[in-house]
């Protein structure tokens, strides 16, 4: 995997401590929060990423559980 690809790949971890870690920051989250709400809380535009939870592509209205692993892939376009 190229460094360029890795640089575009963002990761979030929604862990049993009910917090999201993103770019070395942490935010407390409520059980049942949607992926969209979590992204807004950490300042990521939901329209700018694809969201996977536990390896499956989901929409931004997916509910997060305390054991979910959430990964974001930046949407890139151009010609």
What are the residue boundaries of the structural domains of the chain, listed by start? 3-74
Q: What is the fold of 3-74?
A: Ubiquitin-like (UB roll) (3.10.20)
Could you give the CA distance from residue 20 to residue 29 in angstroms, rounded to a whole number?
7
Residue 11 has a pLDDT of: 56
Neighbour count for residue 52 (Cβ, 10 Å): 18
pLDDT in tens, 35-45: 898 888 888 88
Higher pLDDT, 41 or 79: 41
What is d(CA 60, CA 41) in angstroms, rounded to the nearest whole number? 13
pLDDT of 18 reads 53
The confidence score (pLDDT) of residue 21 equals: 64
Tell me the per-residue pLDDT of 51-71, one tens digit each, with 9 for 90 and over. Answer: 888 889 999 999 988 778 788
């Amino acid at each position: 995997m190229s460094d360029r690809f890795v640089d575009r790949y963002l990761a979030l971890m929604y862990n049993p401590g009910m917090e999201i870690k993103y770019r070395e920051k942490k935010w407390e989250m409520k059980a049942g929060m949607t992926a969209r709400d979590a992204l807004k809380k950490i300042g990521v535009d939901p329209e700018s990423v694809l969201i996977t939870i536990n390896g499956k592509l989901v929409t931004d209205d997916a509910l997060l559980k305390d054991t979910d692993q959430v990964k974001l892939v930046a949407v890139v376009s151009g010609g």
